[in-house]
Chains A and B, each alone.
Chain A
Amino acid sequence: MRGKKMSIRVLVLVLGLAFAVGSAWAQETIKVGVVGPRTGTAAATGKAFEEGIKLATDYVNAKGGVLGKKLEIVFEDTAGAPDKAASGFERLVTRDKVVMVLGESHSSSALAEIEVAERFKVPFIVVEAWADPITAKNYKHVFRAGPSNSGVVNETIAKWVVHEKFKKAFIVAENTDWGLGIAELTKAALTKAGVQFDFLVTERQSQDHYTELSKIKAYDPDVVLAYVYGTGLHYFVAQAGEVKLMPKAVVLDGAGPPSLWPDYWKNVGDAGDLECFVSSMHEKVELTPLATEFREAYVKAFGGPPTDYKSRSIYDSILIAADAINRAGSTDSDKLVDALEKTNLLVTRGTVKFGTEKGGPGYHQWDPPMLVVQWQKRQQVVLYPPEAATGKLMR
């Protein structure tokens, strides 16, 4: 009798142990890292990334995860500083053992991170850092599933300037890798298009733009191409209204998201109306069924429509990563690079295909279509490209 009781106890113990181990096995995940600013001046991007990560992991895991396991995202804060970005990337690889890294929205940080990616041979999909050298270095492990400076300028901004028949442009750029890089490309494109222009640099941290604006006003341009990111854009637009630069000149926000942030109207007031901005997202234009699915999931999760298109950019990149891991059938770095190069995936912004021709910024690059949108009576009106336009430029 006593021996029987002991056997039952042993059986229960073994079953319990097996259940516990089984649960642990079932919980095993494949980790993918995300880098981006969760603190610092661009913490808004971190918030957008967090939202996109939640929706994408829910989506991927609901469809079976990756290689039969759950996808887990580890988000490392870069604070928008290149040194922190490089060490954060290294921590993801060495401490968290991620198989791939995604993200980033500061070009200077991305330029530091791609060196780490190449050293550790970890595939890295850059999401919203636009500087050309990121892919122009032609690193084997570096991809970009997002806008590049040359793509945005040559395919969207310069063509829009010509389309609207602007004669005189003023380029104002913040002193960052992104700002100075996109300004140089814009100068070249406008020269080629025969559009007269002038140019000045402003400090990224500057709150006061009166002197810059008085110089711009003295030039009397038709359009101001403002490459100023974050809160600086709100200061710039509000002050452009105060010095009466607008509405005579049209101001284009060359980055996009700050014109869609929640307190945009409160901060810029009436000066915000008739402002134009580039964007890969529009409240009424959805290029694929997945874009509609994303918006519906976003509204369900966060109680309102998305206010920063970077939430959708990171969402797309997670889907690209999950697709590549599944097709590679492995987490081996070389196999993942090979799978990424063969990507042909429909996401919210179109079908992703990375360039494979070396020798320029097009290598491992996919440029999503960008729109030029104008605020007209606080409604978003698409101006460019013509096939997606929902209205005409108002001045």
Chain B
Amino acid sequence: MLALATMNGLVIGAIYALAALGVSLVVGIMNVINFAHGELYILAGYFSYILADTLGMHFVLAMVLAVALVFLFGIFVEYTLIRPTYGNDMYSLILTFILSIVLQNAYLLIFGPYPNKPPGWVGGATHVFGAFYYGNQRLAALVAGAVVIAFVFVLVKKTWFGRIIRATSQDREMAELNGVNTTRLNMLSFGLGCALAAAAGVILAPVFPVTPTAGVPVALTAFVVVVLGGMGSLWGCVVGGLILGLVENLGAAYISTGYKHVFNFIILILVLLVRPAGLFGRREA
């Protein structure tokens, strides 16, 4: 039981981290909380389903195209909805909340209420250490999720674009004085945040089929991870996601399966009591 709960905790934790990265990036750079994050995750799942299942495209191409389409949609949302609200965080919060409701209802109208699942990449299950069976699709999702997380770290920590992102998130005015076009950076960052939600969506849709409202718990968990790890911290997302995944599964294994998600909130409250800015968050000056 311990081995399976730990392994499942790590897999689910990595999935949580991946879903939270996009939220963290947008909060860190733009100070915008995207309430429609979960619906963009679902949108990518639907795109992937249509392209791979209905149109018969290869699943890798379908996933890449789905992420690209959501990236473009994110840029469109930033340009039309978010940009006019800069300077007032509350407006962007309300607008993305409305967008989430509109998207949920649009999905219901277009795709119907039933769950949709793009084709899996691999079938069957692996007998891990001779102790338990674990779904191969989940293992593949873990690997794909780890690759995307590594890509984001390299992008942010090792590239010129990442240096601009970090500079702007630390001091926007100083970055502007040094010639950074922060308007364009906002647009690209928001698009990237949406693309990360989409990456999580296309990786997980073959494991957890998408429905019009399935994005709500995804977004809620992503927000918990971001707050737990510290607003805007990429390491915070990874550590926060893994902690949640492990606590949830070990709690379900040894205390009760009926309160799986309650354990998350207990951990969140305990951490915030000791570190109000989250595990890796910076204290406000």
Contact = CB atoms under 8 A, between A and B. Distances in A.
Interface of A: 39-44, 46-47, 175, 200-203, 205-208, 210-212, 214-215, 218, 231, 234-235, 239, 242-244, 261-263, 266-267, 269
Nearest to B53: A266
B103 to A, nearest CB: 13
A242 B207 CA distance: 11
A289 to B, nearest CB: 30
A229 B257 CA distance: 17
Nearest to B245: A208
B101 to A, nearest CB: 10
A40 B213 contact: yes
Contacts of B208: 207-208, 235
Contacts of A244: 125, 133
Interface of B: 1, 4-5, 8, 12, 53, 104-105, 108, 112-117, 120, 123, 125, 132-135, 138, 208-209, 211-214, 217, 249, 252-253, 256-261
B256 A41 contact: no
13 contacts: A39-B105, A39-B108, A41-B211, A43-B113, A46-B113, A200-B257, A201-B256, A202-B258, A210-B249, A231-B115, A235-B209, A266-B53, A269-B120
A44 B208 CA distance: 18
- 5 tightest A-B contacts by CB? A201-B258, A43-B113, A242-B135, A44-B113, A211-B252
Contacts, number: 102
A337 to B, nearest CB: 34
Nearest to A43: B113
A253 to B, nearest CB: 15
A41 B214 CA distance: 8
A101 to B, nearest CB: 22
Given A43-B108, A239-B135, 14 more contacts: A39-B105, A40-B213, A44-B114, A200-B257, A203-B261, A210-B4, A211-B8, A212-B257, A231-B115, A235-B209, A243-B132, A266-B53, A266-B116, A269-B123
Contacts of B260: 202-203, 206, 211
A269 B171 CA distance: 51
B113 A205 contact: no
A205 B217 contact: yes
Q: Most chain-B CB neighbours within 10 Å: which of A46, A244, A266? A: A266
B239 to A, nearest CB: 20
A215 B12 contact: no
A263 B53 CA distance: 12
Q: Most chain-B CB neighbours within 10 Å: which of A39, A175, A242, A244? A: A242
A335 B71 CA distance: 61
A263 B258 contact: no
B116 A211 contact: no
B209 A175 contact: no
A210 B8 contact: yes
Contacts of B256: 201
A202 B257 CA distance: 6
B122 to A, nearest CB: 12
Given A41-B211, A243-B133, A244-B133, A215 B1 contact: yes
Given A40-B213, A210-B8, A263 B117 contact: yes
B252 A263 contact: no
Contacts of A266: 53, 116-117
Contacts of B138: 242
Contacts of A208: 8, 12, 208
A149 to B, nearest CB: 19
B5 A211 contact: yes
Contact of B133 (A41, A175, A242, A267): A242
A47 B114 CA distance: 10
Contacts of B212: 39, 43
Nearest to A44: B113
Given A43-B108, A243-B132, A234 B209 contact: yes
Contacts of A218: 1
B1 A214 contact: yes
A278 B68 CA distance: 43
Contacts of A212: 252, 257
A211 B5 CA distance: 6
Contact of A263 (B105, B114, B133, B249): B114
A200 B260 CA distance: 12
Contacts of B116: 263, 266
Nearest to B262: A203
Contact of A262 (B4, B104, B105, B114): B114
Contact of B117 (A44, A46, A202, A267): A267
A47 B259 CA distance: 31
Q: Most chain-B CB neighbours within 10 Å: which of A214, A235, A244? A: A214
A268 B258 CA distance: 23
Q: Most chain-B CB neighbours within 10 Å: which of A43, A46, A261? A: A43
Contact of B4 (A207, A214, A267): A214
Contacts of B217: 205, 207
Given A47-B112, A243-B133, A211 B253 contact: yes
A263 B115 contact: yes
Contacts of B108: 39, 43
Contacts of A202: 257-258, 260
Contact of B115 (A40, A211, A267): A267
Nearest to A210: B8
Nearest to A208: B12
A39 B101 CA distance: 11
Contacts of A206: 260-261
Contact of A211 (B53, B104, B211, B257): B257
A22 to B, nearest CB: 38
A51 to B, nearest CB: 12
A244 B124 CA distance: 10
Nearest to B218: A207
Nearest to A307: B114
B201 to A, nearest CB: 13
B16 to A, nearest CB: 11
Contacts of A211: 4-5, 8, 249, 252-253, 257, 260
Nearest to B259: A203
B129 to A, nearest CB: 14
